[in-house]
Amino acid sequence: MKEIKLAVIYYSATGTNYQLAQWAEAAAKERGVEVRLRKIKELAPMTAIEANKDWKEHFENTKDVKEVSLDDLEWADAYIFSAPTRYGNLPSQFTQFLDTTGGLWFSGKLANKVVSGMTSASNVHGGQETTLLSLYKTMFHWGAIVAAPGYTDDAIFSAGGNPYGVSVTAGKTNLDEKIEKAVAHQVKRTLQLAKWIKNGSN
Amino acid sequence: MKEIKLAVIYYSATGTNYQLAQWAEAAAKERGVEVRLRKIKELAPMTAIEANKDWKEHFENTKDVKEVSLDDLEWADAYIFSAPTRYGNLPSQFTQFLDTTGGLWFSGKLANKVVSGMTSASNVHGGQETTLLSLYKTMFHWGAIVAAPGYTDDAIFSAGGNPYGVSVTAGKTNLDEKIEKAVAHQVKRTLQLAKWIKNGSN
Amino acid sequence: MKEIKLAVIYYSATGTNYQLAQWAEAAAKERGVEVRLRKIKELAPMTAIEANKDWKEHFENTKDVKEVSLDDLEWADAYIFSAPTRYGNLPSQFTQFLDTTGGLWFSGKLANKVVSGMTSASNVHGGQETTLLSLYKTMFHWGAIVAAPGYTDDAIFSAGGNPYGVSVTAGKTNLDEKIEKAVAHQVKRTLQLAKWIKNGSN
Amino acid sequence: MKEIKLAVIYYSATGTNYQLAQWAEAAAKERGVEVRLRKIKELAPMTAIEANKDWKEHFENTKDVKEVSLDDLEWADAYIFSAPTRYGNLPSQFTQFLDTTGGLWFSGKLANKVVSGMTSASNVHGGQETTLLSLYKTMFHWGAIVAAPGYTDDAIFSAGGNPYGVSVTAGKTNLDEKIEKAVAHQVKRTLQLAKWIKNGSN
């Protein structure tokens, strides 16, 4: 049985998706999986960051989290991506990272990677579904395999029933145990699929 | 100033979208607009309907609501569509109706109609966003003009903040005054856009 | 090594998607896989069918193809779906079939099925991409695993480079050897993924 | 009759979308409309640009095109956006610009702006449809009004029949007169809708 390696890659401005990513990391570690937790590089100017107290604080607090590199994509068998919505699409920080993957894509190294996504929005229905579909669209171009949770566990229903991935309304008070459990299930499912594919394809 | 004519066209199995449609009808009438409330024909076999008490009851209760016809599409300047999700897409009853519009489409009669959609799902995030985008995709093929609410009124935020249209979790207890107000705003916005277009294009 | 069972399920009015489906069936059989080729039930009234010579002819010619049943979904490990666009979405015949799967879905029997889609439109860009994404959206609700081709083979580039699945402009003259090869690759990829998942999960 | 102001806003790496944007500008000027042609700021490092001869050349050739600013969004009544796909989504340069519009959005200044999009991909079906839908999704969040061409003119059929907007396969040889005419129609339709809305809403 080959070992699965997981990269949890997130972008977070004020901490919601960082929390989701940390839960994903913890759930994977609990399963004995090697995990890299990586943040996506901030592109916004310091003036923008400093104008928002929560953003500034989060930015400072996560200075030590390693920034994602293309090597992380190549290294891992599976990715958990987490990022807030920006008008129903992914944040530019996130797409900027995706835009640098042309070389890996061209050489076929992103094919059959297993991927699952999480997201947040300010409103209850402010892009929780559509942002994940934007991500998965790109994954199809990569030839990656999407591990959407569907309704494969009761934890999904309790967390809002988003079949595309865990999604929350931004803000710490919405990050409760139900969400944490849904994240853990999504990680479990992603790793399981990655294991099947890795064992089969090697 | 030309008068606007509105068709409120819905499919409902157990009543949620019928309620949304009735609120839309009432909001339009309050503005002195001529409205046709029309149900989409049921395709499911009676055995399926009768196996579900709520469905059966709703089916019986709405026997007198007129079924939508192609003439309603031609007659109206604007449409409010309401339908529950089926796995993130529109119900087949609804798409079956859309599939009969080829003649109207071919003769250009659907172009510049103004359209807005509402939806429901069993889960909080069970297709509330993606179902509306499926509808709007078809509207682009028609050359219709989508009047998505965006965040043009506080009522939208209170009702869950879905910028694509009013959406609810199915079930009567979720159909409160906040939703009713968001429906009224969506109708107002749709009629306003229809009026601008009708006055301009004639 | 467990044997994979494939269901090729299509809806076709005038024959384009039937041809795609037949190529998929042939490609799977060549790999020694047990295949069921199944058509989706026609819902249109005979008057509509008879008003279109090509539709009528195709309808008559395929009278002997078996209609898909829920049992086919349960039986197969993987599905190849093929259907033309209707304004960027799936035809109502197709969604009507999908709408009957609630029981299978509820009991978890559609989770981890491997799925890939093909489509056609009258125009070059008349829904070739968006129709497949509508299908995959529903697959996420099912918990199925999408085997989109991405750019995993040169055959995809030659056939138009649609990473979501084989797509063609409707009409026999557009169904050439390049398309046939892309179909064969898509089937191969789908079966491969299904094999990995079946072997892993059992 | 109020005058319409149009902003043609594009991102282009090697020139395809710049050509589309120039055609849009010309078509608008021919109608006596005040136009601002604006490029979106390049984010890629010079090393990336210089590694690609065509990109470098285009970068140098368009140094004098003004970069878009938020003021352009506020000033114009209508926008024509043009950008290549990146895996079915918008390029990060483009989304980065969109991500800076929060202030305008919050103050309601983007509501009722009329918008239409154009795009390109390396393959025939490499995101020509899905990229435009990503753009329009964001437009719904803005409360903007999408002027998708649909099938409102023969020029659309000739240019590939993309109802969401003009789309091309990247490369100069694909930019022929049919595309130019489809761009002109899309601009005409966008301006028309903008005029109706501006006259109505003021």
Residues D137-152: tens digit of each pLDDT: 999 999 999 999 999 9
A33: closest CA among A199, A195, A200, A196?
Answer: A195
CA-only gyration radius of chain C, Å: 16
pLDDT value of residue B132? 98
Q: What is the pLDDT of residue C148?
A: 98
Place of tokens 């807005």: B116
CB contact under 8 A, D193 and B197: yes
Please tell me the predicted confidence (pLDDT) of residue C5. 98
Q: How many residues does chain D have?
A: 202
Q: How confident is the model at residue D202 (pLDDT cuts 50, 70, 90)?
A: confident
- Angle, helices C92-99 vs B92-99, to 10°: value is 170
Q: Show the tokens assigned to C61.
A: 């010619």
Mean of pLDDT values over B175-191: 98
Q: How far is CA C112 from CA C142, C183, D24, D112, in A?
A: 8, 22, 47, 43
Query: What's the whole-number mean pLDDT along residues B39-50?
Result: 96
Query: What is the DSSP secondary structure assignment for residue A153, as one 8-state letter?
Result: S
Whether A138 contacts chain D with CB within 8 A: yes
In angstroms, what separates the C-alpha of C181 from chain D's closest C-alpha? 17
pLDDT at D172: 80
Please report how the helices A130-142 and C130-142 are oriented relative to each other, as an axis angle in degrees rounded to 10. 110
pLDDT tens for A63-89 read: 999 999 999 999 999 999 999 999 999
Task: Verify whether the Cβ–Cβ distance A152 to C111 is below 8 Å.
Answer: yes
> What are the chain A neighbours of D99 within 8 Å (beta carbons)?
86, 91-92
Length of chain C counted residue by residue: 202
Concatenate the DSSP letters of all residues of A147-185 into one string: ---TT-SHHHHHTT--TTS-EEESSGGG--HHHHHHHHH
pLDDT above 70 coverage of chain D, percent: 99
What chain D residue is nearest to A140 in terms of C-alpha separation? D87
**Which residue among C88, C122, C129 sits closest to D125, beta carbon to beta carbon?**
C129
Q: What is the DSSP letter of A115?
A: E
Give the C-alpha separation, D179 to D167, whole Å: 8
Contact by Cβ (8 Å): A183, A24: yes
Q: Which domains does chain B have, with CATH numbers?
A: 5-199 (3.40.50.360)
Who contacts A50 (Cβ-Cβ below 8 Å, separation ≥6)? A56
Q: Note the pLDDT of residue A146.
A: 98
Percent of chain B exceeding pLDDT 90 equals: 95
Residues whose CB falls within 8 Å of the CB of residue B72, separated by 6 or more in sequence, listed in order: B7, B9, B36, B38
Beta bridge partners of C82: C10, C118
At residue D108, what are phi and psi to the nearest 5 degrees? Answer: 80, 10
Q: What is the value of pTM for the model shown?
A: 0.98
Mean pLDDT of the region A182-196:
98
D43 CA: distance to closest CA in chain A (Å): 9
Residue A153 banded pLDDT, cuts 50, 70, 90: very high
Which residues pair with residue B80 across a beta bridge?
B8, B116
Contact B161 A88 (CB under 8 A): no
Mean pLDDT along residues A23-45? 97
Residue C164, token pair as written in the block: 């979501």
Measured CA to CA, the distance from residue C17 to residue D184 in angstroms comes to 34
DSSP annotation of B175: -
Residues of A in contact with D111 (CB under 8 A): none
Model pLDDT, residue B193: 98
**What separation, in Å, do the N-terminal and C-terminal C-alpha atoms of chain D show?**
10
Residue B107 sits at the chain D interface (C-beta within 8 Å): no
pLDDT tens figures, B64-102: 999 999 999 999 999 999 999 999 999 999 999 999 999
Hey, what amino acid is at C114? V
Nearest CA in chain D to C124: D160
Neighbours of C118 (CB within 10 A): 33
CA torsion, points C74, C80, C82, C87, in degrees to nearest 10? 80
**Cα distance between residue C150 and residue C195, in whole Å:** 19
Q: Which residues of chain C have pLDDT under 50?
A: 1
Interaxial angle between packed helices B16-30 and B177-201, expressed in degrees from 0 to 180 and rounded to the nearest 10: 50
D140, D157, D197, best to mutate vs chain B, most B CBs in 10 Å? D140
pLDDT recorded at residue A84: 98
Residues 6+ apart with CB under 8 A from A173: none
Separation in Å, CA of D147 to nearest CA in chain B: 7
The answer to whether B91 faces chain A, any CB pair under 8 Å, is no
pLDDT score for B172: 80
- CB distance A92–D99 less than 8 Å? yes
Does an H or E element contain A5, and which?
Answer: strand A5-10
Map residue B188 onto helix, strand or coil. Answer: helix
Burial of residue A122, with CB atoms counted within 10 A of its CB: 0-12 exposed, 13-18 middle, 19 or more buried: middle
Confidence of residue A171 (pLDDT cuts 50, 70, 90): confident
Q: Return the pLDDT at A50.
A: 97
What is d(CA D165, CA B36) in angstroms, rounded to the nearest whole number? 32
- Res D95: pLDDT: 98
Angle at D164 between CA A148 and CA D117, to 5 degrees: 100
pLDDT of residue C173: 84
Distance from CA of C41 to the nearest CA of D (A): 29
Residues with Cβ within 8 Å of A76's Cβ and at least 6 positions away in sequence, in order, are: A5, A6, A7, A36, A113
Determine the pLDDT at residue B173: 84
Nearest residue to C35 (alpha-carbon basis) of C1, C72, C10: C72
Q: How much is the ipTM here?
A: 0.97
For chain B, which chains pass the contact test of at least 3 CB pairs under 8 Å? A, C, D
Q: At what angle do helices A130-142 and D130-142 cross, to 10 degrees?
A: 160
pLDDT of residue C81: 98
Least confident segment among C117-131, D25-39, D168-182: D168-182
User: What's A58-77 look like in SS3?
Assistant: HHHHCCCCCECCHHHHHHCC
Q: Residue D159: which pLDDT band, with cuts at 50, 70 and 90? A: very high
Cα–Cα distance between A154 and D41 in angstroms, integer? 46
CB pairs under 8 A between A and B: 56
Taking 3-state DSSP, the helix, strand and coil percentages for chain B, each rounded to the nearest 5, stand at: 45, 15, 35
The answer to whether the beta carbons of residues A136 and A117 sit under 8 Å apart is: yes
The alpha carbon of residue C103 is apart from the nearest alpha carbon of chain B, in Å, by 12
